[in-house]
Amino acid sequence: MTRFNAAELLAVIAARQLRDDTAVFAGVGVPLLAAALAKRRHAPRLTMVIEGGIIGPQIAPGRLPVSTNEMRAAHRATMLPGITDAFLFAQRGFVDVGFMGGAQIDQYGNINTSVLGPDYWHPKVRLPGTGGANDIASLCREVIIVTPHEKRRFVERVDFVTSPAWLRGDGARRAAGLLFGGVSRVVTTLGILGFEPDSKRMRIEATHPGVSADVIRQNTGFALLEAAQIETTEPPSDDELEMLRSLDPERRFLG
Amino acid sequence: MGDPDLNPAEYDFIAARRRVEAKPKSAGEKLTSLEEAVGRVKDGDHLSVGGCLFSRTPLALVREVLRQRRRALTLSRNLTCTEGELLMAAGAVSRVVTAWMSIGLPWGVSKILRHYVETGAVALEEWSHLALGLRFRAGAMGVPFLPALTMLGSDLVGVGGLKTIQDPYTGETLAAVPALFPDVALIHVHRADVFGNCQIDGYPHMDADIARAATTVLVTTEEIVPEEETRRYPDRTVIPGFAVDALVHVPFGSFPHECYGLYEADYDHFAEYTAAIDARGPGAVGDYLERYVYGPPAWTDYLDLFGSERLALQAKRARELTR
C-alpha cells in the first residue's frame, strides 16, 4: 500500500518547484494546494496571485475555493485589484511562475482546453475554454504544467492551441511575438518532463520512485527525448503529506 | 453558425462615442422596477453581464430578460456560469463571447455548454480572460483597441479575428485587442444612492469598465443608501450616476450566486441543478426555467423558493469568510 495518492504526489512535487521570494499564478485545486504547501513549508515569502483578481490570500483549511472568483479564494487577501489588473501584473513581469493543467498537451508543451475535433465552430467536444490559461502561458516568467500522466492527454498534436508553450519549436514562440516565458517543466504523476533547449521537444528529466522511463514512454502519445541524466525524485515525506492534508481535511481536491 | 470575423459594431469607437454623446447623462433619480429597466433591452442586442462566474452575477436582471422573452441576443461575460446556461436553454442567445464556461471544477464540464455549442445552436467566441478584460477596458477608454502581449501565437487568434500590430517604437509584434462596446450592461452592486452612484465591495471584477463601455447601463443594488453616504465615501464609487440609466433595489439580487461579504454561493443548489441535468439531459433546464424564472412573478417570490433559512445561512457563511 502506498502512503499517498496521485493528487498528493502531484501537489507535493509541484510545491517543491516554487522558490521563496517569488510570486505564483495558481488556479484552484491541486495548484492552489501546492502553492499553499510551499508557502507553509519552505517559501514563506511566496505570494499567490489568483485569476479572480486576488493577491496574497490565506486559504482557510476546510473552506477551499472551487473557483478562482469567490470569497474562499479571497480569504484574508492583501489586495483585490480586479481580474484585468491581476493579469497585467503578470504582463509587467511580476509573476515568476504560472501553474497550469490541460485536457491535451503536445510535445512542445502547448495546451488545449477549448475543443476536441478539427473544426472549432463544430466541435466534437466543447470544453470550458481558456479562462486565464492562455494569459498565464503568455505572460508569466515561467510556466509549470501539473497534470496526471495519461496517454490520451499527451498527444502528438493538440486539436487546438488554447495556451501556447513552444508552438512548433525552433523559435516559433518568439516569432509569434511571445517575448517572455514559456513552459519549463511538466510535473506529472509519473515524473518530471522538461524541454530540449534547442528543439523545444519534451524530454524525460526525472522519474518518480518505482517508475521507469519506459513506463513514462508507454503512457505518452508521442516520442519523448531524454535528458543526459535522468534523476529520481524524492518521494513525499511524512511532513509534507501531513501539512498538505491539513489544508484539505475534507479531501475536496486530494481525493 | 460560426462567425470567425469580428463584428465591426463591437469596436466602432466613433459610433460608440456618438451613442453616448446623444444620450441623457442625468444626475437625477434612476430608481425603477426590473420590468421597466429591462424593457430597454431589444431583440438582437449585445448584453454584457457583470460579475464573474458565480460571483456578483446580476441574476435578477438576467431573469427579467428571460421573462421578457428576448431573442437573438449576444452575451459577453468573462467567465460564464448558470446564467449563460439559462439564456442558451431559453433560446435567448445565439452567440456567447467568453473566456470560459461551466460552473466550477466539482460540477464538471457544462453539459448545457456542450449541447448547445456542439449542435451549432449557439456560437461560442472564445477570448483569453485578459483579452476580454482589455476589450471592455478599451471600450471604457473610448479607443478602438489596446496593445497587449497575450493571445499571440495561439489558435484563439483565428476565433475572434484578433489582429496584430507592429509597435511603432521597438518594432515588436503586439496583439491589438479590439474594443467591445456592448449595447447594454447588466450590473449588480453592493450599494447605490437613488441617483445611481454605485459602490462595490471586494473584488471589482470588470463591472466598472463594462459600465463605461456600454451604451445603456442597468443596475441592481443590494442596498439603497442616502446621498450623504455617497458623499462621505466618494472614493468608493466605481460607477458614476450619470452613466447609469436604470437602478433597481434588489436584495439577494445575485442568489444563488454570491455577493462578496453578503452571501456565499449556494453550492448545494448547483449540485441539485446539475444532478437534474445529469439525470434527464438538457431538457431539465426547461423545467428549471418554469420553476425559477417564468413561474414566480416577483424576485421575492423567487427567493421564497430557496427559503429564508438558506439565505440566512449563506449570509452567515459570507460574514465568516470576509470578517
List the domain boundaries for chain A: 6-16+80-247
pLDDT tens sequence across B267-280:
999 999 999 999 99
For the record, the C-alpha cell of B188 comes out as 449588480
Q: Contact B150/A51, CB-based, under 8 Å? A: no
Which helix H or strand E contains B88, and what residues bound it? helix B82-89
Provide the shortest C-alpha distance from residue B307 to chain A (in Å). Answer: 22
**AA letter at B181:** F
Beta-carbon separation of A167 and B153 below 8 A: yes
| Of B70, B19, B29, B310, nearest in space to B186 by CA | B70
pLDDT value at residue A9: 97
| CATH number, position B60 | 3.40.1080.10
Task: DSSP for A186-229, please give it.
Answer: EEESSEEEEE-TTT--EEEEEE-TT--HHHHHHT-BS--EEEEE
Amino acid at B27: A
| Whether the complex's predicted ipTM surpasses the cut of 0.90 | yes
| Of A67, A69, A135, Cβ closest to residue B130 | A135
Question: Going by C-beta distance under 8 Å and a sequence separation of 6 or more, which residues neighbour residue B323?
Answer: none
DSSP-derived letter for residue A46 is: -
Phi-psi region of A56 (alpha: psi -120 to 50; beta: other; left: phi over 0): left
Catalytic residue among A51, A70, A205, A231: A51
CA–CA separation, A148 and A9 (whole Å): 10
Q: How far is B76 from chain A (nearest CA, A)?
A: 14
* Positive/negative CA dihedral, B27, B28, B34, B38: negative
The CATH number corresponding to A6-16+80-247 among 3.40.50.720, 3.40.1080.10, 3.30.465.10, 3.10.20.600 equals 3.40.1080.10
Nearest-Cα distance to chain B for A180, in Å, is: 9
Q: Which residue of B has its CA nearest to A61?
A: B321
A126 and B114 in contact by Cβ < 8 A?
Answer: yes
Q: Do B2 and A70 touch (CB under 8 A)?
A: no
- Please check whether residue B152 is in contact with residue A164, taking contact to mean a CB–CB distance below 8 angstroms: yes
Q: Is pLDDT at B20 greater than 60 in this prediction?
A: yes
Residues of B with CB below 8 A from A51's CB? 129
How confident is the model at residue B260, as a pLDDT? 98
Q: Which of A54, A125, A131 sits opposite B114 (nearest CB)?
A: A125
Tell me the pLDDT band of B4, cut-offs 50, 70 and 90: low
Domain that holds residue B28: 24-137+181-322
pLDDT band at B251 (very low <50, low <70, confident <90, very high): very high
Reading the block at residue A9, the C-alpha cell is 504526489
Q: Judge: B136–A84 Cβ closer than 8 Å, yes or no.
A: yes
Torsion angle of C-alpha atoms A27, A30, A34, A40, degrees rounded to 10: 100
Contact yes or no for B130 and A121 at CB 8 A: no
Residue B30 lies inside a defined structural domain of this protein? yes
The pLDDT value given to residue B5: 60
Residue B11 lies in a domain: no
Cβ contact A90:A136 at 8 Å: yes
pLDDT at residue B1 tops 90: no
- Give the largest Cα separation in chain B, rounded: 61
What's the whole-number mean pLDDT along residues B106-120?
Answer: 97
Query: Are A131 and B100 within 8 A, CB to CB?
Result: yes
Mean residue pLDDT across chain B? 96
pLDDT in tens, B162-200: 999 999 999 999 999 999 999 999 999 999 999 999 999
Mean pLDDT by 10-residue block, N- to C-terminus, for chain A (255 residues)? 88 98 95 96 97 94 91 96 98 97 94 97 97 98 97 97 96 96 97 97 97 98 97 97 96 92
A44 upstream amide cis, omega within 30 of 0: no
The answer to whether A234 is a known catalytic residue is: no
Q: Compare B1 and B233 and report the one with higher pLDDT.
A: B233
Residue from B107, B115, B125, B149 to probe the interface with A (highest A Cβ count within 10 Å): B149
Residue A75, CA distances (Å) to A107, A159, A169, B236, B255 in order: 38, 37, 40, 21, 20
B26-58 per-position pLDDT tens digit: 999 999 999 999 999 999 999 999 999 999 999
CA distance B97 to B77: 6
Name the residue facing A138 among B117, B152, B158 (closest C-beta): B152
Strand partners, B259: B263
Which residue(s) pair with B175 in the sheet?
B148, B164
Tell me how many domains chain B contains: 1
